Amino acid sequence: MKVEGSGHGMDSPEEEPGTVGVAVIGAGYWGPNLIRNVLSNDRCELRWVCDLDTVRAAKVLGRRSPVRITADVNDVLNDPEVQAVVIATPSSTHRRLGLAALNAGKHVLMEKPLATTVEEGEELVAAAAANNRILMCDFTFCYTPVVQRLRSMINDGDFGELLFIDSTRVNLGLIQNDIDVFWDLGPHDLSILDFILPEENRPISVSASGADPLRSGQACVGFMSLQLGGGAIAHVNLSWLSPTKIRTTVVSGAKRTAIWDDLKVGARLSLYDAGVGMVAYRTGDIVTPAIPEREALGSVINELVTCIETGRTPATDGHAGLRVLRVLEAAGRSVASGSTAIPLEF
Ligand SMILES: NC(=O)c1ccc[n+]([C@@H]2O[C@H](COP(=O)([O-])OP(=O)(O)OC[C@H]3O[C@@H](n4cnc5c(N)ncnc54)[C@H](O)[C@@H]3O)[C@@H](O)[C@H]2O)c1
């Protein structure tokens, strides 16, 4: 995978290649997926699972597991054999746990979103730089074969001039009590856009609107329109209130359009060799490329270990996490101001 984003001063490898000692904090809904992928990676040793609910952690690991369980994060941070901490706790805890881990000299893989404000994200990025540690975000979709294909197609100019991107991520619940739908589902689409778009096409402004028709106290439906550098536009439709799950992204260019339906296992990506030019419509073949099916989280853990071993910057580093936070914060300001377009600066 090509590396991008700003470096953070890790010019030379520090760790010897070998087994990387890992701890996972948070064994709720998402943590078990990370735990499974750390356990199945030959280059890692899972040393701890930390959760305030130790019974839950024990259930995830099973009775015969030699992996230690604790409710006290200090057990993890005081273990010199732990090089990397994977944090899969609610986003309100990311800043505190992330800073504690980085300041204890651990590399961090942080679940999305990186933090709950840009300011908190900046603190995490600064702590990673000050401690010369890796700060990586688990932007899981960026590690899927489809998203990697879209990124290389865009970078290779296969779409021609980019016209629009339209992404729908809707399903029923879970209505979260600490974050709204923008902060829950939005990081997926925003991290995908950040990953696939060249720097010159990154969002330059966002306008957003949200609704809470059930009066849950959070926006449960949200729309974001992002003006992209170069003249294209991206639209993101997010909802916890849709009875059917839809995960569809359209990437349209002057030469070609891609439709990614993530629920169509085995045929997720369709490429339409058709478009609309200045003078005429053009129709052509529809191709479904053979794209391997593999679990993205396996690649996430591989990326973490490779970056620890080689000192290179992760493809989804803290700066990528911070760019996503900047859009989310601006989207919140736009909702509050009646959908005004808020300029973005990265
Ligand atoms: N990458 C993805 O596709 C994806 C999918 C779902 C969730 N997530 C992210 O994963 C994170 C966790 O979400 P979830 O749905 O698993 O939440 P959850 O509430 O189901 O689980 C969180 C767990 O963290 C534990 N916990 C809370 N504070 C703790 C602390 N201080 N120390 C130790 N343990 C603590 C809780 O006891 C709980 O078991 C969130 O940031 C969420 O956005 C990512």
pLDDT per residue as tens digits for the range 263-283: 999 999 999 987 666 556 667
Q: How confident is the model at residue 13 (pLDDT cuts 50, 70, 90)?
A: very low
pTM for the predicted model, two decimal places: 0.93
Q: What's the pLDDT score for residue 5? A: 38
Residue nearest to atom 40 of ligand 1 (CA): 90
The pLDDT of residue 105:
98
Tell me the best of 34, 51, 195 to mutate to test the pocket of ligand 1, counting ligand atoms within 8 Å of each CB and taking the most. Answer: 51
Report the separation in Å between the CA atom of 50 and the middle of ligand 1, taken as the mean of its atom positions: 11
Q: What is the pLDDT of residue 275?
A: 67
Which ligand 1 atom sits nearest the alpha carbon of residue 51? 34
Q: Write the pLDDT tens digit of every residue in 203-242.
A: 999 999 999 998 999 999 999 999 999 999 999 999 999 9
What's the chain's average pLDDT?
92
Which pLDDT does position 18 carry in this prediction? 66
**Contacts of residue 290, Cβ cutoff 8 Å, sequence gap at least 6:** none
- For residue 8, what pLDDT band results from cuts at 50, 70 and 90? very low
- The tens digit of pLDDT for each residue in 34-78 reads 999 999 999 999 999 999 999 999 999 999 999 999 999 999 999
- Within the chain, strands assigned E span 20-25, 44-50, 68-70, 84-87, 107-111, 135-138, 162-172, 203-211, 221-228, 233-239, 241-253, 257-261, 269-272, 275-276, 281-282, 286-287, 342-343
**Residue whose CA lies nearest to ligand 1 atom number 34:** 51
Whole-angstrom distance, CA of residue 296 vs CA of residue 250: 20
Any atom of ligand 1 within 6 Å of the Cβ of 89: yes
Residue with CA closest to ligand 1 atom 25:
26
Is any ligand 1 atom within 6 A of the Cβ of residue 203? no
Closest C-alpha residue for ligand 1 atom 21: 28
Q: Give the separation between CA 74 and CA 70, rounded to whole angstroms.
A: 9
Q: Is the CB–ligand 1 distance for residue 317 below 6 Å?
A: no
Cα 7 from Cα 145, distance rounded (Å): 25
Please report, rounded to a whole number, the percentage of residues in the chain having pLDDT higher than 90: 85
pLDDT for position 173: 80
CA of 94 to the centre of ligand 1 (A): 10
Q: What is the pLDDT of residue 230?
A: 95
Each residue's pLDDT tens digit, 176-208: 888 999 999 999 999 999 999 999 999 999 999
